[in-house]
Each structure stands twice: as structure tokens, then as C-alpha cells.
Structure 1
């Protein structure tokens, strides 16, 4: 799968990011935690493990589960990442990055938790929470 290097900054520009192994597609998570965290479905990129931050003192984290934590700028509140603790894998909001015109929307996860008040028109792969955890457990 093709990967690329992307740069980003939070709203106040106190935190900058260089992600060097980004998968070139956008996915969406409809789980209740992501919706609460982002105010809607989380549109995100799998940025892998090769992520560097400048302005680390401005990053706060919240352990949202036994397996993941969420990071944000403690000055402006910009959501920076969802990180799988064991794999050190960063899932980052697509809106953090400016140049994604060529990115394709490919997968929606936790589709069984998606509320009925919205739908995406894109044709994507759809996975329930059970299917996501089955894949996650197979990779562990």
C-alpha cells in the first residue's frame, strides 16, 4: 500500500507534526467515543508509527481505554491523535492535514454504532465493532 509523508500544525501552531508513513486513504469511525471526542464521526488517517511532534510540552493525553490514548494540544484544544498503546500506532484526524485532495475515503468502522441522523454518500467498506476487534485480535 502506498504511503506518504504529511505535515500538520494545531490551530495555535504550538504543536507541529511530521508523519512519514501515512496510508494514502481516509477512514471514518462511528464509535460513541470517537463521536463524543470529535463532535461527529472521526475522519482519520492511519499514520503508522513514524510520527514526530515538535512542541511536545503542549501535548496532553487521555487514556480512553486499556488499549488506546487520545492526544490534544493543551493550549488550543486541537485533537492530534488516537494512539494504539501496544503498537504505538497513530490514527490522526484528517482535518489536521491540509493537502489531502488525492486521498480516497475507503472504510467506515463501528458502523453498528452510527446514529441514523447522518450517512456518507461514498461507497466504502463497512465494518461493525465486532469485525474491527476480530481483525485487531488477528493482528496481535
Structure 2
């Protein structure tokens, strides 16, 4: 994971705290229909790998959103906490949850083929289709 660093954050109400020990320095956008339905727009997230710890785990609720991933949220305030690949345990954490967003670089977009026409980002990024991201992570859709 390039430029990995420890990042800490919390949900909106503060009952769940997260420490990502090796969070990527890159942030990306997911435009898939599920992420847009979940977040109300594209999910802007950081790949945090598997070295992630939670305080307040009793309030972490998990929704089994697909055969390949589940999504975690705070049971008290509803804040989105992670998107987790079932096979590897790899967590994508919403960038806005972190206290220290400094240094993050927005450099990639996934499921670009599912992005609606009503918005665009001006950054030059790597753009991947749903099929390309599925192949990268070994997901059969």
C-alpha cells in the first residue's frame, strides 16, 4: 500500500473510534449503484487494508450488502464506517471519518461505468470500470 500511514477517526456521535494502522495515502471514489444508494453520492474512501481496530465495537453494525462485501455503520448515529471485502477482510473507510485527512490524494475512481451524468470530478484520476475492479479483486459479479 503506497504511502501507508496511521489514521484515526470516529463516527458522528463519537461512540465508535477507528484506528487504521496502514491507511493508504490515496483516496478514491466508488460510483457503483450500491455505494451511491448507501451514501447518497459517490463513496469517497481510503483503502485501509486489514490492520484496522475499533473502539466501541458493540455499536458497529454490519449489513451483508453483496456476495463479496459487507458494510459497517454505527448503530447509534448511522455513520458509515467501512466497506469490507469478505474474502480478504480488506476495509475501505470513508475519507471523511478521519481526523487527519491531510496528505490524502484523490487519484482513482472505480465503477466509472456506473457514474451518473449529473456530476464529474475535475481531478485527473485512474478510472476503472466495474468489470476491471472485479477482476482486480477477484470478484465474480
TM-score (norm 1): 0.96
Aligned-residue RMSD, C-alpha: 1.0
User: Displacement of 1:40 after TM fit?
Assistant: 0.1
The C-alpha deviation readout for 1:81-139, integer Å capped at 9, x for no partner, is 0011110111000010122121111110000000000000000000000111121229x
1:115 corresponds in structure 2 to 116
Determine helix, strand or coil for the equivalent of 2:131. Answer: helix
TM alignment of 1:1-140, pairs within 5 A? 1-137=2-138
Unaligned runs of at least 5 residues, structure 2: none
- Provide the rounded CA distance (Å) in 1 between the counterparts of 2:107 and 2:137: 18
SS of equivalent to 1:135 = helix
**Aligned residue-pair number:** 138
Instruction: Tell me the distance in 1 between the aligned counterparts of 2:23 and 2:115.
Output: 26
Distance of 1:35 and 1:92 partners within structure 2: 15
What stretches of structure 1 of length at least 5 have no aligned partner? none
Q: Displacement, 1:2?
A: 1.6
Runs of 4+ in 1 over 4 A off after TM superposition: none
Q: Which is strand-richer, 1 or 2?
A: 1
Helix, strand or coil at the partner of 1:48? coil
In structure 2, distance between residues paired with 1:35 and 1:129: 14
Distance 1:67 1:81 in 2: 14
For residues 4 and 120 of structure 1, the distance between their equivalents in structure 2, rounded to whole angstroms, comes to: 25
